[in-house]
Structure 1
Amino acid sequence: MAYTVIPLQIDEHRDALRRLWRDNSYDPETNVYAAERFDWLYRDTGASHAQTWLAVESESQRVIGCGSVFRSNRSFRGQIVSAGVPAVFFVDREHRLAGAALGIQRAVLGGGCRSGLDVFVGKPNRSARAICDRVGYRPVGDLQEWVRVVWGDDSLSASPRAADYGDEIVTAADDRFDRLWDRAKAHYLMAAEKTAAFLNWRYAGFKENYRFYCLVRQDDRRLVGYIVFYAMSDGAVITDLLCEDPSGPALDNLLLGFCPRMQGGGHVWVSLLCTGMPSFEGQLEQVGFRRGKHRVALLVYVNPDAGAAFRHEMLDKNNWFIFAGEMDVLLSDEVWRDRSDRRNVLGDAVASAS
């Protein structure tokens, strides 16, 4: 079969995209969670937020696949690196052994590079991994699952240190998050750019109810750190995190303040997947997190026009600090509860208590 790959024109292709979603995961016409993410991903098809490419079967002119990338810049060694995260890669089943998938991913990478992206970072599922390898992604390490069982743990009741810190849970980022980002970014070799505007675009106002757990100083109410999270049926998933320092007392109190909050909400466990910064992983262990059974490959593609030194830095696992949740767009049906559809959709997120 022959295919052409074209950029999305949402007014022209909306119905075709909806069918792709319905046939390959969730139906955005009946699932409110999918409908919100559909509008979020495709409402801005310019280089500022997200780009999407479609595969069209030449004979029938039917749209049979799609792939997107959204911008999530990184702060690296004090400089902003333009970075993209691939998302929502669908190809109809009868076309998966042909060239459509390769064509989509090559178009996503080519279009992203032309719009100024320096690097792409993703965590493909098993079926997409071979495609990513063929178009030039390179493995840089694994995202490791960490789990903290909170149910029945009486040691959590005294955290965080009430004399020094208070906490709150909010649904949107404000200017305190900008000030924290300005203070904190120099302490991280690499971190996702976490301005209030980006955090709200990425997480705020969705039905799955991402929230921000905030740790503040008692004396001046300054924001010290926060955790972005959402709830599953018996646990809470940490999607993203930023603290004034990537290790030390503030991070201890952020993690140990969050856990009893989740315990008080009836959750059994807290989990996250991340890679990088051995000091951060060591502190997770110190506060009671244990390595879970899930590991997910982290892949990186570097713009071919980048210099050799930059390429080497981006392919070094030791330079990365990233959470799996930063790359999740589709969540599991345990979160996106669609009672009209009995398929088991795993989405991007993985969590376990064992």
Structure 2
Amino acid sequence: MNYTITSSEPASAREAILELWRRNLPDASADRYPWLYESGLATGFVLRATGGKPVGAAGLMRRDFLAFGQLLQAGQAIDLNVDPEHRTVGPALGLQRAVVGVVDSGALGMAYAFPNQRSEPVLRRIGYRPLGDLQRWVKILSCRAVFRHWGWPNWLARSASAFADPFLPRRRAARRDRLAPGIRVAEVDSFDDRFDSLWRRAASQFPILGQRDSAYLTWRFSRCPDQRYRALVLAEPDGELVGYAVFGRREEAMHLADLLVADPRQLDRLMAEFLRLARREGAETAVMLYCGSPTVCDALRRFGFWQRPSGRKAMVYEKDRELPDAASRPDAWHLTGADIDTDG
């Protein structure tokens, strides 16, 4: 069968892509389409069979990085889906080749993706290289999570956890005298220009860091249609930010979507404040998706997070391998929910 792949204006491709999502990505909300595609941050590619019927689609979400001190324009490969009767290798390969064609043309310097086990071989075949596993870090905040996982009824899980929770290991909060006097902890309801300053100051910690200025954080978190996010900040007496954590509640889990500090020594304090808030609000677990710096991974371990597989890998595509060899190691990166298009 012959296929054609086109990149169309978001308005004209809307109904075709939404219908494909209803068939193949049922968890994707319709509100996600204008947020991603009609905002201008993502480009859609539609696969059509003979006769013009849409049978698959993929997208490329633009994302800027600072890579070894230089601006790197990049994009995340997203929303690959193909109708079941067309799920041979050819259609999926064609869609992904259309996506990386934007890199091959020189319009972008890099593409990256977080494929599951089914789509990973397709990406390898067209030239993506793996960085490492996207790990799911989980901390038990209440034994209710364990008891309910074992199938205990809610009343029994609640009663038993009241006895068991005080015995859960807790790391003491970072000592306050490690920070400058007067550091304040607060929730904020918007991302202002203080976040621009923070991400510029924090960038030197990571050889490769995705853009985290106020405009991007506002789009990614404040305007996200599928999840309500909140932000916890550490601030100097004059209001300058020294760190932030973005998080959202899903059922009984508090998901840590992003974090950044001006100085790694402030990471413990930020983590302690986030976990204190999560416990206060009755969350049973804290969860973070992460691939990157050993400094962040070590902090997660210190605070009792367990490393679990997410079933996804972080992968990168470059045309001519222009990035230094160090970019092939996950410890050069800081990939969090801020760098992922979905909230799963």
TM-score normalized by structure 2?
A: 0.84
- Aligned partner letter, 2:338: E
Please give the per-residue CA displacement for 1:2-38, whole angstroms capped at 9, x wherever unaligned.
101110223322211111111112377xxxxx13211
Q: CA deviation at 1:251?
A: 0.7
Paired position in structure 1 for 2:230: 211
- Aligned partner letter, 1:22: R
Partner of residue 251 from structure 1, selected from 252, 261, 267: 267
Given that 1:102 and 1:131 are in contact with CA atoms closer than 8 Å, whether structure 2 keeps it comes out as yes
Q: CA deviation at 1:133?
A: 1.2
Paired position in structure 1 for 2:249: 231
Matched, 1:320 2:311: no
Q: CA deviation at 1:70?
A: 1.0
Matched, 1:65 2:83: no
Q: Identify unmatched segments of 5+ residues in structure 2.
A: 143-164
- Aligned partner letter, 1:13: A
Matched, 1:75 2:87: no
Q: CA deviation at 1:112?
A: 4.0
Paired position in structure 1 for 2:34: 39
Alpha-carbon distance in structure 1 between the residues aligned to 2:330 and 2:10 = 37
Paired position in structure 2 for 1:177: 195
Deviates more, 1:84-93 or 1:141-150: 141-150
Q: CA deviation at 1:143?
A: 2.1
Percent sequence identity over matched residues? 30
Matched, 1:284 2:303: no
Given that 2:206 and 2:333 are in contact with CA atoms closer than 8 Å, whether structure 1 keeps it comes out as no
Q: CA deviation at 1:292?
A: 2.8
Partner of residue 87 from structure 2, selected from 96, 114, 125: 96
Q: Identify unmatched segments of 5+ residues in structure 1.
A: 29-33, 332-348, 350-354
Alpha-carbon distance in structure 1 between the residues aligned to 2:8 and 2:81 = 14
Q: CA deviation at 1:186?
A: 2.1
Q: CA deviation at 1:179?
A: 1.3
Alpha-carbon distance in structure 2 between the residues aligned to 1:182 and 1:173 = 15
Alpha-carbon distance in structure 2 between the residues aligned to 1:101 and 1:115 = 22
Matched, 1:50 2:50: no
Q: CA deviation at 1:135?
A: 1.1
Given that 2:139 and 2:306 are in contact with CA atoms closer than 8 Å, whether structure 1 keeps it comes out as yes
Given that 1:171 and 1:212 are in contact with CA atoms closer than 8 Å, whether structure 2 keeps it comes out as yes
Alpha-carbon distance in structure 1 between the residues aligned to 2:105 and 2:230 = 34
Call closer, same or farther: CA 1:282–1:159 in 2, change over 3 Å: closer
Aligned residues: 316
Given that 1:173 and 1:199 are in contact with CA atoms closer than 8 Å, whether structure 2 keeps it comes out as yes
Alpha-carbon distance in structure 2 between the residues aligned to 1:4 and 1:235 = 43
Given that 1:160 and 1:256 are in contact with CA atoms closer than 8 Å, whether structure 2 keeps it comes out as no
Q: How does 1:1-354 map to 2 (within 5 A)?
A: 1-26=1-26, 34-45=29-40, 49-57=41-49, 59-97=50-88, 99-114=90-105, 116-151=107-142, 152=165, 161=176, 164-207=182-225, 208-217=227-236, 219-245=237-263, 247-248=264-265, 250-294=266-310, 296-304=312-320, 306-307=321-322, 310=323, 312-323=325-336, 325-331=337-343, 349=344
Deviates more, 1:145-154 or 1:100-109: 145-154
- Aligned partner letter, 1:25: L
TM-score normalized by structure 1?
A: 0.82
Alpha-carbon distance in structure 2 between the residues aligned to 1:327 and 1:92 = 27
Alpha-carbon distance in structure 2 between the residues aligned to 1:293 and 1:280 = 17
- Aligned partner letter, 1:198: Y
Deviates more, 1:293-302 or 1:87-96: 293-302
Deviates more, 1:18-27 or 1:121-130: 18-27
Call closer, same or farther: CA 1:27–1:147 in 2, change over 3 Å: closer
Alpha-carbon distance in structure 2 between the residues aligned to 1:156 and 1:165 = 21
Call closer, same or farther: CA 1:43–1:139 in 2, change over 3 Å: same
RMSD, matched Cα: 2.4
Please give the per-residue CA displacement for 1:41-98, whole angstroms capped at 9, x wherever unaligned.
12045xxx222111111x2201111111112222122222212111111111111115
Given that 1:88 and 1:330 are in contact with CA atoms closer than 8 Å, whether structure 2 keeps it comes out as no
Q: CA deviation at 1:225?
A: 0.8
Local SS of the residue matching 1:270:
strand
Deviates more, 1:314-323 or 1:226-235: 314-323
Given that 2:103 and 2:110 are in contact with CA atoms closer than 8 Å, whether structure 1 keeps it comes out as no
Given that 2:116 and 2:311 are in contact with CA atoms closer than 8 Å, whether structure 1 keeps it comes out as no
Local SS of the residue matching 1:72:
strand
